[in-house]
Amino acid sequence: VEPRTPVPSRADPSRVDPASEQALVLRLQAGEAAAFEELLRQEGPRMLAVAERYLRDRHDAEDALQDAFLNVARSIGSFQGHSRLRTWLHRIVANCALMRVRSRARRLPLAPAGADPEREPAGHATGPTRPWEHAAADIASREELRGCVWAALARLEDGDRTLLTLHDIQGMTLDELAQTLNIGRTTVKSHLHRARHALRVELDERLGEAHP
């Protein structure tokens, strides 16, 4: 699985010029300890954030970062320079984080897809649904509302949260999800559908309360 690599921001102050990068790669390939430390200090903060995006857990993200740098040490010899070092590193970090997501998914199986808490056996929708599109309209700019969404996500079962994080937040495709979680595509769809409704129910309460 190779998750989409984000396009670096134009305002990114941490751009590395190609000549410096090439020199760093040569030092890494020579196994120079100082070069690994330089790479770690230079790219580590961003890569830790990448891992944390997938894992939503600082401790796991730090472990994934360590895994990734061990992988870098093992495979830097085969780095051909066809992509930027940061792009290559991003892919390794994402894969290490996803390995942990997969392992976590095995430990915490997804809830049965049919178990929609909001529906009666006959399939009729129950309970009122309050529209909260206005409350959510400025979610990207308001920390309070962002916190509301994260809090709602935190209340979901781990399997549901993982699916929503990987698909709706990180932008993984259904096929990538199926491969990552080692489950069938149809199963992914059912669980994702259920997870979206579970989050909607949580947000229904939170956004309704925050913005009656």
Partner 1 sequence: VIDCTRFDALQRDALDGPLPAPLQVEVDAHLVDCPDCLARMRNLVVQTEVLRRLGEAQREDEVAAPPLPESLVRRVLTALAEEQGGGSKARPRDGTLG
Give 140's contacts (C-beta < 8 A, 6+ positions apart).
146
* 133 counts as binding partner 1 under rule CB under 8 A: yes
* 79 counts as binding partner 1 under rule CB under 8 A: no
* Three-state DSSP class for residue 119: strand
Stretch that binds partner 1, among 95-103, 104-112, 154-162, 196-204 (CB under 8 A): 196-204
Stretch that binds partner 1, among 17-25, 99-107, 155-163, 194-202 (CB under 8 A): 194-202
* 12 counts as binding partner 1 under rule CB under 8 A: yes
* Least distance (Å) between residue 196 CB and partner 1: 6
Alpha helices, DSSP H, located in the chain = 18-29, 33-55, 58-75, 85-107, 133-136, 143-154, 158-164, 174-181, 185-210
Longest distance between any two alpha carbons in the chain, whole Å: 66
* Least distance (Å) between residue 26 CB and partner 1: 12
* 122 counts as binding partner 1 under rule CB under 8 A: yes
Residue closest to 38 by CA, chosen among 51, 55, 25, 57: 25
Return d(Cα 174, Cα 56) in angstroms, integer. Answer: 20
* 140 counts as binding partner 1 under rule CB under 8 A: yes
Whether 24 contacts 38, CB under 8 Å: yes
* 45 counts as binding partner 1 under rule CB under 8 A: yes
* 81 counts as binding partner 1 under rule CB under 8 A: no
* 87 counts as binding partner 1 under rule CB under 8 A: no
* Three-state DSSP class for residue 125: strand
Phi, psi of 57 (to 5 degrees): -155, 120
Quick one: 87 or 129, whose CB is closer to partner 1?
129
Among residues 23, 26, 49, 115, which is the contact residue for partner 1, using CB under 8 A?
Answer: 49
Return d(Cα 37, Cα 18) in angstroms, integer. Answer: 19
Residues at the site binding partner 1, with contacts judged by CB under 8 A: 6, 8-9, 11-14, 30-33, 36-37, 40-41, 44-46, 48-50, 53, 62, 65-66, 69-70, 73-74, 76-77, 119, 122-125, 128-133, 136, 139-140, 146, 149, 164, 168-171, 174, 189-190, 192-193, 196-197, 199-200, 203-204
